Structure 1
Amino acid sequence: MINSEHGLLEGLHEVDWAELGHAYGRAQDVPGQLTALCGQDEAAREGALRSLFGNIFHQGTRYSASPYAVPFLARIALAGPRPVRDGALRLLTRLAIDWHDEYDLPRGIDIKAWRAAAAELTMDEALAWYDEQMAAEPDEERRHRIREIRAEWAAGRLMDSRASALLSYDAVRTELPGLLALLDDPDPVIRTGAAYLSAWFPEEAATVLPRLLDRLRVENSVTVTATAMVAAGLLGDITLTSRLSPHLDATEPLIRWAAATALARIGSADDSTGLGTDLTGHVIAELAAAAADAPKPDIDYNEGDIPGYISRSLLSLADHDRETVLCGVADCLTLMPDNHTDSTAKTALAVAFAEPFHDGLPPFTELTEGQQRLLRALVKAGPWGAYGKKFEEDLGSLRLPDTRAALRVYVGLSNDGHDDRTRCIWG
């Protein structure tokens, strides 16, 4: 039996968990959950992992107990019972970045901006704000509740969400050098998880990138290769171009997608020469082809929504070949989950129709092919009626038909109200 005697949980009871908090109050239950992760009871392990996801990482929020759990989870990921190592690694990733891997793509984590935002609210400012609220609140019951929350802040059990998230991020960053050993783990699932985790620490790029590139030289798993290549692109710069560009001609479609994704990020992030005209064109062509041709991947980036990731990468290169980009994005839109189409639709519309039609809406046939295909895709997959009808407002501001029925008529589809969204080949 693997337990604290083997070092996984050494120091667990030296932490004053009762003085720490999580989503449901004080964190006295965390030691028992971490201990259960290391036990032999499969049901208990699964329950403990679910509990930890729910209390120290609750809907993306990190708490004062969260960073204290990180060293133990790192040891479990490295040497715990095989059935829970992947779960521990996934929890470490979420504790570090929550869903930045969705909304910070395709550029990756902007850690400088995150640190600046976290520093905006000091403890003294927070406590002063609660003092003001108590002084202005006439209801004793509400004032008592504010007093309790202030006490939690003063004790360090609550803090600004950006700051508390950053503490967990930095706790995982501290463990990252040791966790990089998992890039060489015999289990490809663990290697994939380690490559994915490593993608989000640009301050550690000098350490992480050589390990990722070493992995690419010897890796035989398509999924691990693709994950590591995208990670290298998120951390690297233009100097990696010659290392990654040969993979654009790989046999496996998923590896071609990963190479194009990595190079798109590198090229769009470069402030000087970029990738060059020919290579940029190759990257755009591979990304545009990937939406229709790539197989269903077992990839975590963008919550597994690879068409959504492709669209973001394409749009970052729109200045180089607007028409091919728009056609590729149109293909992606009908394959994406409904909740991911909003930002893509907004950005794509801005690219396709940089200026509103001041002289009236032209006939549909006078639009470019990219504009036509985008509008047809938006009829099928636009975020209609969502987010306070902002999508409809975006259409209206461009002098385009701003209802689904009107847009269907404009693009030449019958207005029968039928939802003809294409079946997602990725999901």
Structure 2
Amino acid sequence: MDTRADILHSTDWTRAFHAYGPATDAPEFLAGLLSEQEEVRERALGYLNSAILHQGTVYPATPPVALFVAGVLGEPAVDLPVGDPFREAAGSAVEPLRLGLLDFLADVARAVAERAAGRSLPELEGLADPGERRGELDALLTGMADGDAEGEEEIWEDPLLDTVFHAALRDLWRAAPTLLGAVRPLLTHADGRVRQRAVTTTGALCRLVEEPEVDLSGAADLAENRDEGAAIVLALVEGGGDTTSFLAHPDQAIRACAALSEGLAGDPVAVGELRAALLDPAAADAWFRDRPGYFPGHVRFSLVDALVSRSGSEDAADLLPVFRELAATAGPFSCEADLRGLLRLALGGAESAPAPEVAAPTELQRAYLRAVVDNDRLWDTRVANVALLLRSLGLPTAREALAALAATP
């Protein structure tokens, strides 16, 4: 596959649309990644993370763009700094563009894995074949390229367009070995930040490679701090490697990262590490100076998700200390991620089942409810998130009513 700069000229961008229409603007933005002007580089990076990869969706333009990005990872120009293109205020921290490009490739790999929904490459190839409707598909893409404003909404809603999206997934799956090859030299880069992002991107790309060999030994030899060490363990987690040995690591953060592996879902030691880490959720969130890209938000959110997936209602009593700490830490904007899973387990329900009726809670269930009632920050009347969460679980949405339900009968 061609990852060199001439992909700008060898791709028919009129047929490779992105989130906002035909990708005829791609050559200009991609060339901007190598510009000497910071604002041009910043706009180009923003283009990657808005038009080319939009809210977890990949488009026909995404495969050639990803290959171009991989092809410039070794260029000196991507050492130049760039700010966050989505920053809300001036003066945001800047970092080498190479880091943003690695993050983009990691996000693309995760988007492909999630959108493919467990399908194999042969299955994607079948879904990407329009068969006898190829002519209709060509006409559809021509209409999109021509910018037919009147028929634009109809084009985007045409089920035949699914074929094109599956083709994008297929092409990125095929490109994964090439993308990995471009990232691999950065695993031993002199800059620890680059090594860390390269490790994370390698783990994400390994999700698209059958029987991947997640060899991070070079990066491990150069790791200088907890952040790099955790990134290596998390790349093994994401790439399907074995993290069992790290459960005995002296650093709790490393042990907890190792415990996130799906391969350790039934391991009581791993579950114990998740529980122990969540007994101080604020400390877990502060483990890293440069949080590994595996975590899409607060570290505790991923720990909670893993713990909930490995627990049942029968574990509610043992999980009460964890829930109390989370309930004390949660705010109105984090309550869904912090509380829903464990609270639903305590109420005897599963995510796939309707919310259980809670008319006469047990003492254990009342203890869970009291933990929610006791956090003043959760009850900010300007934010409805807590009420929405409680309603979805069949609970009273007013603090006084919930306190009454939680009171000892």
Q: TM-score if structure 1 supplies the norm length?
A: 0.69
Aligned to 1:3: none
Matched-pair contact (CA < 8 Å) for 1:392–1:402: yes
- Residue equivalent to 2:73: 77
Equivalent in the alignment of 2:322? 328
**Is the CA contact (8 Å cut-off) linking 1:199 and 1:232 kept in structure 2?**
yes
SS of 2:296 mapped into structure 1: helix
| Cα offset, 1:67, TM superposition | 0.6
Aligned in 2, Cα 1:86/1:244: closer, same or farther, shift over 3 Å?
A: same
* 1:123 matched to 2:123: no
Partner of 1:13: 9
Distance change (3 Å), C-alpha of 1:284 and 1:21: closer
Q: Could you tell me which residue of structure 2 aligns to residue 422 of structure 1?
A: none
Out of 275, 281, 289, the position equivalent to 1:291 is 281
Question: What residue is the counterpart of 2:102 in the other structure?
Answer: 89
Is 2:406 the partner of 1:406? Answer: no
Q: Aligned partners of 2:6, 2:132: CA distance in 1, in Å?
A: 37
Q: Structure 1's 265 and 372: CA in aligned 2 closer, same or farther, altered over 3 A?
A: farther
One-letter amino acid of the structure 2 residue matched with residue 48 of structure 1: A
User: What's the CA shift for 1:118?
Assistant: 8.7
Name 1:4's counterpart in structure 2.
Answer: none
Residue 74 (structure 1) shift: 0.6
More moved, 190-199 vs 109-118: 109-118
Amino acid at match of 1:202: R
Q: Distance in 1 between matches of 2:135 and 2:10?
A: 32
2:199 matched to 1:195?
Answer: yes
Residues 1:152 and 1:408: Cα distance change in structure 2 (over 3 Å) = closer
Match of residue 303 from structure 1? 296
SS state at 1:303 partner: coil
**Could you give the per-residue CA deviations for residues 157-209 of structure 1, whole angstroms, max 9, x where no partner exists?**
x7565653454454345311331222211112212211222223335375442
Whether the 8 Å contact between 1:74 and 1:175 is mirrored in structure 2 is yes
Match of 1:209 in 2: 214
Return the letter of the residue paired with 2:99: D
Q: Runs of 5+ in structure 1 lacking a partner?
A: 1-6, 131-141, 251-255, 413-427
Q: Displacement of 1:409 after TM fit?
A: 4.2
Q: Which blocks of at least 5 consecutive residues in structure 2 are unaligned?
A: 81-96, 138-147, 350-354
Q: State whether structure 2 residue 151 is matched by structure 1 residue 145.
A: yes
Match of 2:389 in 1: 391
Segments of 4+ in structure 1 off by > 6 A?
Answer: 125-130, 150-154, 355-359
Q: Partner amino acid for 2:151?
A: R
For residues 144 and 330 of structure 1, what CA distance do their matches in structure 2 show?
55
Task: Give the conservation status (yes or no) of the 8 Å contact 1:92–1:172.
Answer: no
Q: 2 CA distance for matches of 1:60 and 1:371?
A: 34
1:260 positional shift: 1.7
- The Cα shift of 1:291 comes to 0.9
CA distance in 2, matches of 1:190, 1:231: 14
Q: More displaced, 66-75 or 162-171?
A: 162-171
Please state how far the C-alpha of 1:222 moved relative to its aligned partner: 1.8
Partner of 1:96, secondary structure, is helix
**Residue in structure 2 matching 1:312, options 282, 301, 305:** 305
- Determine the structure 2 residue equivalent to 1:50: 46
| Structure 2 partner of 1:265 | 261
Q: 1:326, 1:373 within 8 Å by CA — same for their partners in 2?
A: no
Partner in structure 2 of residue 416 of structure 1 = none
CA contact (8 A) 2:32 2:40 kept: yes
Figure out how many residues of one structure are paired with residues of the other and give that number. 367
Contact 2:29 2:44 in 1 (8 A): yes
Distance across 1 between alignment mates of 2:304 and 2:157? 46
What displacement does 1:73 show?
A: 0.2
What is aligned with 1:37?
Answer: 33
Q: 1:26 is matched by which residue type in structure 2?
A: P
* 1:356-395 → structure 2 map (5 Å cutoff): 360-362=359-361, 366-367=363-364, 371=368, 375-376=372-373, 381=378, 385-386=384-385, 391-395=389-393
Distance 1:358 1:336 in 2: 24
Letter in 1 for 2:209: E
Query: What one-letter code is carried by the residue in structure 1 that aligns with 2:104?
Result: L
Conserved 8 A contact 1:64-1:164? yes
Equivalent position to 1:236, from 237, 240, 247: 240
SS of residue in 1 equivalent to 2:184: helix
CA distance in 2, matches of 1:305, 1:258: 16
What's the secondary structure of 2:24's corresponding residue?
A: coil
Work out whether residues 326 and 374 of structure 1, in 8 Å CA contact, stay in contact via their aligned partners in 2: no
Normalising to structure 2: TM-score of the pair? 0.72
Report the Cα distance in structure 1 between the residues aligned to 2:48 and 2:117, rounded to whole angstroms: 27
Q: Give, as a single letter, the amino acid of the residue that structure 1 aligns with 2:66.
A: V
Q: Helix, strand or coil: the match of 1:19?
A: coil
Please give the alpha-carbon distance, in whole angstroms, between the structure 2 residues aligned to 1:315 and 1:240. 20
1:350-406 CA distance string (max 9 Å, x none)? 31121699895257xx3269635654478854998459x76334432xxx4344441
Which one-letter code corresponds to 1:51 in the other structure? Answer: Y
